[in-house]
Amino acid sequence: MERLVSAAEVRSATGEARREGKTIALVPTMGALHDGHLSLVRAACERADYVAVSVFVNPTQFGPGEDFEAYPRDMDGDMELLRAEGVDLVFTPTAGAMYAPDAQVTVDPGPLGQVFEGAARPTHFRGVCTVVTKLFAIAQPDLAYFGEKDYQQLAIVRLMVRDLDLPVRIVGCPIVREPDGLAMSSRNVYLSAEERRAATVLYRALCEARDIASAREADAEIIASEMASTVGTEPLVELDYAAVIDPETFRPLDLFGAKPARALIAARVGRTRLIDNIALEVG
């Protein structure tokens, strides 16, 4: 496994793999790797001949006052985990190498970048789209792996690839959870023991939504308000949004059952913001 820090080195390494006829996969991450990330890496290793993982805490996707400085970092641990998975290349650029001091061109995520997570974090998806485009331009992968954990991010990246004709296929992977249901996240380390216990209410609310939906017991608005009231029973958790949406447009659904649907939830647990989601299907 090679660890490279410059874009030029990465381009030449993946270029050589391409000339050898290898299929190249990229897994973009911000590090502090857990089993959720590793599920993406494993899926990539199964399908591609050459797997590159980027580990980069991208400053442009954090807003002012967010946790960029505090974001967990564990480069040695990450390298060990990736080596054990048989990854070919790890790209660990510095922010200074990724962005020219006067960098000014960005990728606009469009209207989907303004709702839900985009409403809570107005510059977030512009930062995500810009860094993902740069990573695609640098590694030129055939396949790129993203988790459904960040469901809106996955939808926006798919749209970006379609709308900008980027020559890469996006592969979405299911959410990996802790045994008690909490979605794995690098940010879970911020939670105190009490907050960690309280945070399980998000998955409970999503499971309720799934069960109500599969029993055809309620329309979308009622499902969303049930989720909100479940979260409301947990004093340490402050709901940001709970919604039932069309998984492509992210428009709130009125009538549930005619189309596929996704339940989304976001909340603050102490100072930590957590997001999660689940597929809703009529039973």
Report which residue type is found at 28.
P
Q: 60: helix, coil or strand?
A: helix
Regarding 184 and contact with ligand AMP (CB under 6 A), the answer is yes
- Cβ burial of 8 (10 Å; 0-12, 13-18, 19+) is exposed
60 binds ligand AMP (CB under 6 A): no
> Is 29 one of the binding residues for ligand AMP (CB under 6 A)?
yes
Confirm or reject binding of residue 276 to ligand AMP (CB under 6 A).
no
Active site residue 34: no
Q: What string of DSSP letters covers 96-157?
A: HHHS-TT--------GGGTSTHHHHSTTHHHHHHHHHHHHHHHH--SEEEEEGGGHHHHHHH
- Residue selected from 24, 25, 30, 263 as contacting ligand AMP according to rule CB under 6 A: 30
* Catalytic residue selected from 26, 29, 37, 136: 37
Residue 65 CB coordination number (10 Å): 6
- Which stretch, 36-44, 224-232, 243-251, 264-272, contacts ligand AMP (CB under 6 A)? 36-44
Site residues for ligand AMP, 146-175, by CB under 6 A, read 146-147, 149-150, 173, 175
In angstroms, give the least distance from the CB of 144 to ligand AMP.
9
130 makes contact with ligand AMP (CB under 6 A): no
Compute the chain's Rg from CA coordinates. Answer: 19
Measured from the CB atom, the residue of 83 and 259 that comes closer to ligand AMP is: 83
Angle between helices 75-85 and 35-47 (to 10 degrees): 30
Which residue from 185, 230, 272, 277 is in contact with ligand AMP, where contact means CB under 6 A? Answer: 185
Q: What are phi and psi of 211, to 5 degrees?
A: -70, -40
Stretch that binds ligand AMP, among 9-17, 142-150, 212-220, 263-271 (CB under 6 A): 142-150
Q: Does 176 participate in binding ligand AMP (rule CB under 6 A)?
A: yes
Shortest distance, position 146 Cβ to ligand AMP, whole Å: 4
- CA separation (Å) from 128 to 6, 64, 131, 231? 20, 15, 5, 28
Under the binding rule (CB under 6 A), the answer on residue 44 touching ligand AMP is: no
Q: Minimal CB distance to ligand AMP: which residue?
A: 147
Decide: helix, strand or coil at residue 25: strand
The residues annotated with a catalytic role in the active site are: 37
Interacting residues toward ligand AMP by CB under 6 A = 29-30, 36-37, 39-40, 146-147, 149-150, 173, 175-176, 183-186
